Structure formats: structure tokens, C-alpha cells
């Protein structure tokens, strides 16, 4: 099936959303932001404490979109070849044969990515950015779509290797699941009391449909004033003294792409400033680096970004 109209994008997204909700209770915004990233063929970093459903969300998504799925459990002794694959000598043929690693899948779950050494983390960079993989001088294209959903625990630091800025910048969005409220937690207990909803999930769209959806969001309009608002937000982060590093042009592109995707998910063919503000809070923070003074004051990137956004004029429609 090829999606050729924006109205079909919203309908297909609702099927995916409803399927995931059979497993994940609440977290509708997190699901929407994840879908927006996927429509842009961007990578997602789920950054939160253990037990909140990060891995469950990734698995539910994989089952819903009918793509090949591999999980990589990152550990300190994991080597780059364990991720990318390796050439093995075949004694019968007398030739080397490539044995693909788990990275060569359409949807890859990089679980606890910050537990791997920087060398192994770096093995992902080429694949994430250029959609290709080079092993022992041989370059191969990644399957399409190619998406990495990585998880990390921001609290436990022993035995971890913080992701460098270059690695963080490859993730289109960084999301936090957050704790459920009492009603949601009670619903979780009831839902998982006797059954395992994840095992019952079936694909509701295929890879071809997903590609059509991604193509369709190119029809979403971004007015000049809204595009100017995106540029102003990004430039404001570079001029803010509280940040040692502001957002890059890659962040600007990510903000525009995800804002268009969010508009399409909500059945609109135009981007609102509200879409830009919403996506800025998940596209920009992990690309910003606090100054030494801000770190001494225990300031957070999120609070400082909110202050920057409050000072940038929001475009309004002329009467």
C-alpha cells in the first residue's frame, strides 16, 4: 500500500497508535513524538529510569509496523564487530563471507546504549547518519527504513560511558516516559495480571506504507513566518550565555521535519507555531551544552530552554 494523501497518514498513524496503546498505558505524547521521528526516519533516544516501559514501547512499535527487528543489549565488553558483523573465512569455498551483525535490521533497539565503550558506540555513527555500514573496507547500504531506538538510564552512572555530543546529535528526538499516575498504574496492573499484551500484537502497517507516509508529509506547508520562528528559536540558543553550545543546523532541520510530521499526525496540512514549540522540547535539549556557570548553579537545559522560548516572539496570523 502506498500512502499518497495526508488524510491517510493520520488514519495509518491512528492504527499504529491504537495498537501500541494495547500495551503502553497513557504516554500518548511520547507515542506521537516517536511516530513523528519515525516518519522522518529519525532515531529516538529514550532517556529515563528503569522500569517505565522504554523497551516495551520499542518492541510494541516494532510489532506494529511490520519491519525486521533486532535488539542489541549493550554491555562494557561488547565489541564493534558484535554490532556491525564480521567477515568469516569459509574453509569449503576458500573465501571470506560476511556474517551480518544485529545492526543490519530495519528497526534496531540499542538497549542501555551508554553501557558500551565509546569505540562500540562509535560503530553506530556511520549507520545512523549516512545509512551505510563499512566493515573491513566494504561498504553496504542499510535496509530502509532504518531506525535506531536507544535507551539509557540517566541515574545509574557506575559502569557507563556518557554519549558524546556527536552521538547525541544523531538522535532526532530524546524522550522521557515519566512515572504513571495512580489510575494509570492501576490499569497497568490489571492489564498485565494474567496476559502479556505484547505477544498478541500484530502489524497494522508494513514498510511500504511507512515509506508512503514519510513521503506524504512533504506536502505539509511551512509558512515563511513559521519557518522564521524555527530559525529564531535555534539562533536564540546560540546567543544564550547559559549555553556553551547552541543548537546546530542539523537541529533546525530536525525541528522543521518533526513539526511537519506532527502536523500530519494530527490531520493538518500546515504547521502551527504550537507544533514547533512542542517538538522543540524534544528535538533541542540533548543538543545543547550548559556553560560551566550554569552547571555550578545546577540549572537544567529544559528550564533554560523554556526561558529562551518565552523570549522569542511567536508569529500570529494577521487580522
- The number of beta carbons lying within 10 Å of the beta carbon of residue 251 is 22
Q: What is the DSSP string of 45-99?
A: EEE--TTSSHHHHHHHHHHHHT--EEEEE--TT--HHHHHEEEEEETTTTEEEEE
Cα separation, 212 vs 9, whole angstroms: 8
Report whether 54 contacts 151 (CB < 8 A).
Answer: yes
> What does the radius of gyration of the chain's CA atoms come to, in whole angstroms?
20
β-partners of residue 108 are 70, 148
Residue 302, SS3? helix
In DSSP terms, 72 is beta-bridged to 110
Decide which of 37 and 49 is more confident: 37
- Under the banding of pLDDT at 50, 70 and 90, the label for residue 232 is very high
Q: How many angstroms separate the CA atoms of 228 and 8, rounded?
A: 29
Identify the CATH number of the domain defined by range 220-319. 1.10.8.80
Helix or strand or coil: residue 175?
A: strand
The Cβ of residue 103 has, within 10 Å, a number of other Cβ atoms equal to: 22
Could you give phi then psi for residue 49, rounded to 5 degrees?
-70, 160
Q: What span, in angstroms and rounded, lies between the C-alpha atoms of 79 and 299?
A: 36
Give the start-to-end residue ranges of the domains of the chain: 1-218, 220-319
| Domains 1-218 and 220-319 alike in fold | no
* pLDDT surpassing 60 at residue 318: no
Query: From CA 266, how far away is CA 247, in angstroms rounded?
Result: 26
- SS3 string of 137-169? CEEEECCCCCEEEEEECCCCCCCCCCCCHHHHC
Q: Please write the tens of the pLDDT for every residue from 1-45.
A: 444 577 788 888 888 888 888 888 888 888 899 999 988 888 999
Give the domain 1-218 fold: Rossmann fold (3.40.50)
Q: Which residues 6+ apart lie within 8 Å of 59 measured at CB?
A: 69, 109, 198
Q: If we measure between CA atoms, which residue out of 240, 253, 243 comes closest to residue 286?
A: 243
Q: Are 162 and 114 in contact (CB under 8 A)?
A: yes
Q: What digits encode the pLDDT tens for the residues 75-123?
A: 888 888 888 877 777 777 777 777 777 888 888 888 888 888 888 888 7
What is the spatial distance between Cα 41 and Cα 129, in angstroms, rounded to a whole number? 11
Residue 226: C-alpha distances to residues 25, 241, 257, 307, 317 (Å): 33, 25, 13, 19, 10
* CB neighbourhood size of 155 (10 A): 7
Question: Is 248 buried (19+), middle (13-18) or exposed (0-12) by CB count in 10 A?
Answer: middle
Q: Are 76 and 114 in contact (CB under 8 A)?
A: no
Most confident of 123-132, 193-202, 254-263: 254-263
Total-model pTM: 0.84
Q: What percent of the chain has pLDDT over 70?
A: 96
Amino acid at each position: 500500500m502506498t500512502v499518497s494523501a495526508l488524510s491517510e497518514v493520520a488514519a495509518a498513524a491512528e492504527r499504529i497508535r491504537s495498537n501500541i496503546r494495547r500495551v503502553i498505558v497513557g504516554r500518548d505524547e511520547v507515542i506521537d513524538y516517536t511516530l513523528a521521528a519515525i516518519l522522518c526516519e529519525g532515531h529516538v533516544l529514550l532517556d529515563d529510569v528503569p522500569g517505565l516501559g522504554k523497551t516495551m514501547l520499542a518492541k510494541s512499535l516494532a510489532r506494529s509496523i511490520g519491519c525486521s527487528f533486532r535488539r542489541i543489549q549493550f554491555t562494557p565488553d561488547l565489541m564493534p564487530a558484535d554490532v556491525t558483523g564480521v567477515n568469516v573465512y569459509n574453509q569449503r569455498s576458500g573465501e571470506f563471507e560476511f556474517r551480518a551483525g544485529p545492526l543490519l535490521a530495519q528497526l534496531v533497539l540499542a538497549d542501555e546504549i551508554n553501557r558500551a565503550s565509546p569505540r562500540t558506540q562509535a560503530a553506530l555513527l556511520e549507520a545512523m547518519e549516512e545509512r551505510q555500514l563499512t566493515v573491513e573496507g566494504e561498504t553496504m547500504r542499510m535496509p530502509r527504513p532504518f531506525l535506531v531506538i536507544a535507551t539509557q538510564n540517566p541515574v545509574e552512572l557506575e559502569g557507563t560511558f556518557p554519549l558524546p555530543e556527536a552521538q547525541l546529535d544523531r538522535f532526532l528526538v530524546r524522550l522521557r516516559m515519566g512515572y504513571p499516575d495512580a489510575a494509570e498504574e492501576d490499569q497497568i496492573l490489571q492489564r498485565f495480571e494474567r496476559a502479556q499484551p505484547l505477544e498478541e500484537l500484530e502489524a497494522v502497517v508494513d514498510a511500504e506504507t511507512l515509506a508512503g507516509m514519510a513521503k506524504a508529509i512533504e506536502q505539509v506547508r511551512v509558512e515563511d513566518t513559521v519557518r522564521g520562528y524555527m530559525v529564531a528559536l535555534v539562533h536564540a540558543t546560540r546567543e544564550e550565555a547559559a549555553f556553551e553550545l547552541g543548537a546546530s543546523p542539523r537541529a533546525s532541520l530536525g525541528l522543521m521535519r518533526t513539526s511537519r510530521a506532527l502536523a500530519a499526525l494530527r490531520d493538518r496540512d500546515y504547521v502551527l507555531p504550537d507544533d514547533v514549540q512542542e517538538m522543540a522540547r524534544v528535538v533541542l535539549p540533548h543538543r545543547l551544552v550548559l556553560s560551566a556557570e550554569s552547571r555550578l548553579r545546577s540549572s537544567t537545559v529544559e528550564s533554560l530552554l523554556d526561558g529562551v522560548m518565552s523570549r522569542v516572539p511567536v508569529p500570529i496570523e494577521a487580522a
